[in-house]
Amino acid sequence: MDGKRCSATILIADDEPNICLALKFLLEDHGCDVRCAMDGEEAIQEIQRSPPDLLLLDLAMPKRSGFEVCQTARSDPKLTSMRILVMSAQCQDVAVEKALALGADGFLAKPFSNAQVVEAITSLIDQGQLNYA
Amino acid sequence: MHERLSLRVRFALFFGLIAATIPVVIGIALYLAAQRLDDNPTSQLVLFGGVASFALVGIVAWVAQLFDTHVAAPIVTVGRDLQTLMHANPEHEIHEDDTRYLGILGPTVKEASESMRRLREDVDAKVVEATKSLEEQRLRLETVLRDLNEGVIVCNLDHQVLLYNQQALASLVYDGDLGLGRSIFSVVNRPPFLNTLERLNNRFSSGRYKNHPDGLLVPFVFSTTDGQHVLQGKMSLVVDEEKGQAQSYVLTFSDATKRISSLAKRDRLLRVVVEDFRRPLANLRTSADLLTSSVSVPAEMRDKFESIIAEECAALSDRLEEVTDEYRSIATSTWPMSDVNSANLLSCLTRRYREHPVLRCDVSGEAIWLHCDSNTIVELMDRLVRRALEATGAQVFTVEAASGENRRYLDIVWTGDAIPDGTVQTWLEEEIDHGAGRMTGNDILQHHRSDVWSERIDQGRARLRMPMPDPVVEHTELVNGAPPVRLEFYDFDLLQRGSQSGDLAQRRLRDLTYVVFDTETTGLEPSNGDEMISIAGVRIVNGRVLTGESFDRLINPGRSIPARSTEVHHISEDMVADQPPVEQILPRFRDYVGDSVLVAHNAAFDLRFIELKQELTGVKLDNPVLDTVLLSAIVHDHTDQHTLDAVAERFAIEIPAEKRHTALGDSLATAYVFLKMIDLLEANGITTLEQAQKASEQLVQIRRTQARY
């Protein structure tokens, strides 16, 4: 996305309002259409209501964990084109492996820099040939 | 026809021949002398008398030679055969050729040997029957010791090893050699042992052990002689209460090197987090406070503080990443875990469902090693299988262990859909009935730094997958294959025997500790540049060959190996190219030999190679030596066949063709031959080392004298 505008729709699922705010600001600044969900259940409802191009998903969330959201999304045939980028402070190898096994496309360990998150999203967008302006 | 004559007739014929010859010779002499009496009667009588005497001596010598060939030598041979048969080889054949001139003695000896063989077989069968239950108990003890995850060693009060298990061998053998009858101090450092033993002895002699909560047991930490491995264990004293004296001590231990190193690392990381993170946090806090406070900060300074915040955030993130990486490398939690064979673990699990009305659960896949607490893992898997049965409706499950690219797993597989992670998480939050406490599945997983998830796999199947830590020790044996080689790993008779110190020469041959060794070489001339390419040895302790404690090394000779030499021992230049040179191997061999008596077949040859390397290697073997060629010539003086093959055949010792002319194979054959010889030497009145050495020296002297003529 560096130097480019991106028209992808992104759903940020994280129960930390501060990071949601910062990421929404950052990604909107790059031209994305960004929505936020504050727990796992809301995240599932949002992706089912209007599937985003990319789900930026925290693992530790109330109501439904990021793993459950990931697994639910992957069991829905309508959501196969949606990319899932997991971000978590649980950075044990097992958590990464479990997230990938349950259908995540990438993993970002918290804390991360703005550049890292932009690069990770760009890479997934490139793989999924999402919409560029 | 003359072979059918009886021994008495043969004796009569020998003496009859002499008796008949005397008057004939004397008669002829007198007759011839009488014919010439006129010339010079005295000289004629002297001449013919002398001729007659020489003729008589010649005839007596001829008859004596016939007597020796037909009677004396066969009797000696039969005598030796009987000795071999009684003391060394009950299957030994007495050849008819050897007894053909001995009349009834031949068939009688054969018949006696047959009935002795049958008698011995009967006795052996009865002994086997009588000791069957003892043997079963012994096998059970061996199995228990072999499968224990802790190392176990029993020593007498001279610190000689009486028993050890395979785990002890795996944990301790880095620098020295662990073996029956050897000092424990060849593998571990001395001071902690002596201190702990002294504490136990004091506790015992003062009677305090009766009220002490640990009784006669003391936990202690010790290290291997190379100083690289720290072991944590317990020493307990074995005492004879009636006699009021200690007899031996038992050690149980495990390798604590990793655990202790992990604790040290963890301490350091904690210090890093506590101390190193304070500085950047202080910078961050000061700058953030200034920016958010009511203090008026000029724009130029505001930019500076913002860049400080950005820099410190980046530095903190980087440092956190480093600490996280290091934390991951630390061994798992302090929860007690051990290396576990997945086949054992999974069969413990499936055994629970044998009586289950609907659930069928089988083990599949290869067995692998895992590092875990098998009890809690079996409990957790049991919970998961039962919950999966309820949740999926599947009734047939397979459980298996799998190795991935970077990790090992335990899987529960069924035909059907994957289970939602939320459901699995609820199961993991349930308490699990287990003796270790009210643990949940998540607690168990946390101990193993693991997790569980459900995913779809192939052919409409799904699984619950649980990553497991890698084993701590490399397990080389085939867990699904043949059982591990059975070692001779205990000998409580050593309890009654002191260490191999004092006057060796006066000790009984069967009480001594031996190293029987052999070398393979590039040729037969050590003085002309031939070199050793292999050296092997086996130990004999208390009359047993300890096949599990052998020494077997290839040596890089630093020169080519002639093809004709490779044909004999099958060691090629490629095989030794990456092997250590003799200066590395011989010191290890010297440590292996220790204070044992050396035994070899044609020992002078092998010792010469070692001796010529003394300057280079610093190894001088001044241990007593016995040569089985010489000992064979002592106990089997009726034959000059003393090659290893010939001697082994006489004792019915089979050397597999592929082992013959390998240093280890020949060492083993020589060891078994030597054990048989000890019995025969004793039958010949040679019971001590000194007597065996003297008899060998005398034989060498005789041979030298014979060679001179």
Select from B316, B322, B429, B451 the residue whose CB has the most chain A CBs within 10 Å, as the one to mutate to test that interface. B451
Over residues B47-58, mean pLDDT: 85
Q: Which range (A97-106, B274-283, B463-472) has the least confidence?
A: B274-283
- Cα distances (Å, whole numbers) of residue B30 to A50, B14, B93: 147, 25, 53
B640/B101 Cα distance (integer angstroms): 21
The answer, yes or no, to whether residue B220 has pLDDT greater than 90, is no
A67: nearest CA partner in chain B:
B421
- Percentage of chain B beyond pLDDT 70 is 91
Q: Of A70, A71, A91, which is closest to B324 when you measure between CB atoms?
A: A91
Q: What is the pLDDT of residue B501?
A: 56
DSSP letters of B264-295? HHHHHHHHIIIIITHHHHHHHHHHHHHHHSSS
Strand bridging mode B597-600 / B625-627: parallel
Q: What is the pLDDT of residue A4?
A: 57
Over residues B462-483, mean pLDDT: 70
Q: Chain B contact for A123, CB < 8 A?
A: no
B150/A77 Cα distance (integer angstroms): 53
The answer, yes or no, to whether residue B187 has pLDDT greater than 90, is no
Q: What is the pLDDT of residue B105?
A: 78
Q: What is the pLDDT of residue A130?
A: 45
Q: Which range (B149-158, B164-173, B196-205) has the least confidence?
A: B164-173
Over residues B160-176, mean pLDDT: 78
Q: A120 or B659: whose pLDDT is higher?
A: A120
B92 as an active site residue: the answer is no
Q: Which chain A residues have a beta carbon less than 8 Å from that of B316?
A: 111
The answer, yes or no, to whether residue B254 has pLDDT greater than 90, is no
DSSP letters of B83-146? HIIIII-TT----HHHHTTSTTHHHHHHHHHHHHHHHHHHHHHHHHHHTHHHHHHHHHHHHHHH
Q: Which chain A residues have a beta carbon less than 8 Å from that of B328?
A: 92-93
Cα distance between the two ends of chain A? 10
B154/B259 Cα distance (integer angstroms): 25
Q: Of B314, B324, B449, which is closest to A94 when you measure between CB atoms?
A: B449
Record the pTM: 0.54
Q: Residue B532, SS3?
A: strand
B457: nearest CA partner in chain A:
A101
Q: Which range (B93-107, B378-392, B478-492, B631-645) has the least confidence?
A: B478-492
Helix, strand, coil percent values for chain A (each to nearest 5): 45, 20, 35
B698 pLDDT tier (thresholds 50, 70, 90)? confident
Looking at the complex, report in whole angstroms how far the Cα of residue A53 sits from the nearest Cα belonging to chain B. Answer: 23
Looking at the complex, report in whole angstroms how far the Cα of residue B435 sits from the nearest Cα belonging to chain A. Answer: 27
B631 pLDDT tier (thresholds 50, 70, 90)? very high
Residues 9-68 (A) with a CB less than 8 A from some CB of B: 64-65, 67-68
Torsion over CA: A60, A62, A63, A69 (sign)? negative
pLDDT tens column, B324-351? 777 766 655 566 777 788 888 888 888 8
Q: What is the pLDDT of residue B419?
A: 93
B320: nearest CA partner in chain A:
A111
Q: Which range (A113-117, B200-204, B286-290, B418-422) has the least confidence?
A: B286-290
Looking at the complex, report in whole angstroms how far the Cα of residue A119 sits from the nearest Cα belonging to chain B. Answer: 17
The answer, yes or no, to whether residue B654 has pLDDT greater than 70, is yes
Over residues B466-476, mean pLDDT: 79
The answer, yes or no, to whether residue B512 has pLDDT greater than 50, is yes
CB contact under 8 A, A97 and B467: yes
B486 pLDDT tier (thresholds 50, 70, 90)? very low
Is B533 in contact with B521 (CB distance < 8 Å)?
Answer: yes
Instruction: Give chain B's mean pLDDT.
Output: 83
Q: What is the pLDDT of residue B493?
A: 64
Paired tokens of A43 = 């995240």
CB count, 10 Å around CB of B46? 12
Q: What is the pLDDT of residue B411?
A: 94
B81/B98 Cα distance (integer angstroms): 10
B480 pLDDT tier (thresholds 50, 70, 90)? very low
CA nearest to B595, candidates B502, B519, B686, B671 = B502
B463/B424 Cα distance (integer angstroms): 12
Over residues B428-444, mean pLDDT: 78
- Percentage of chain A beyond pLDDT 90 is 39
Q: What is the pLDDT of residue B64?
A: 85
pLDDT tens column, B589-614? 998 888 899 999 999 899 999 999 88
CB contact under 8 A, B406 and A64: no
Range with the largest mean pLDDT of A108-112, B154-158, B547-551? B154-158
Q: Of A64, A91, A94, which is closest to B467 when you measure between CB atoms?
A: A94
B661 pLDDT tier (thresholds 50, 70, 90)? confident
Q: Residue B676, SS3?
A: helix
Q: Which chain B residues have a beta carbon less than 8 Å from that of A76?
A: none
The answer, yes or no, to whether residue B197 has pLDDT greater than 50, is yes
Q: Chain B contact for A101, CB < 8 A?
A: yes
The answer, yes or no, to whether residue B43 has pLDDT greater than 70, is yes
Q: Chain B contact for A107, CB < 8 A?
A: no
A40: nearest CA partner in chain B:
B422
ipTM: 0.81
The answer, yes or no, to whether residue B232 has pLDDT greater than 50, is yes
For chain A, state the CA radius of gyration.
13
Range with the largest mean pLDDT of A43-47, B104-108, B257-261? A43-47
Q: What is the pLDDT of residue B484?
A: 43
Range with the largest mean pLDDT of B225-234, B370-379, B485-494, B532-541? B532-541
Is B306 in contact with B292 (CB distance < 8 Å)?
Answer: no
Over residues B193-204, mean pLDDT: 88
Torsion over CA: B367, B373, B375, B380 (sign)? negative
Cis amide linkage into residue A111, ω under 30° from 0: yes
CB contact under 8 A, A93 and B314: no
Q: Which range (A65-69, B69-73, B387-391, B661-665) has the least confidence?
A: B69-73
Size of interface A-B (CB pairs under 8 A): 46
Q: Chain A contact for B423, CB < 8 A?
A: no
Over residues B121-132, mean pLDDT: 84
Looking at the complex, report in whole angstroms how far the Cα of residue A38 sits from the nearest Cα belonging to chain B. Answer: 18
CA nearest to B465, candidates B509, B399, B379, B547 = B399
Q: Which amino acid is at B531?
A: E
CA nearest to B637, candidates B210, B211, B80, B86 = B80
B452: nearest CA partner in chain A:
A98
pLDDT tens column, A19-60? 888 888 888 888 889 999 999 999 999 999 999 999 999 998
Q: Which chain B residues have a beta carbon less than 8 Å from that of A91?
A: 324
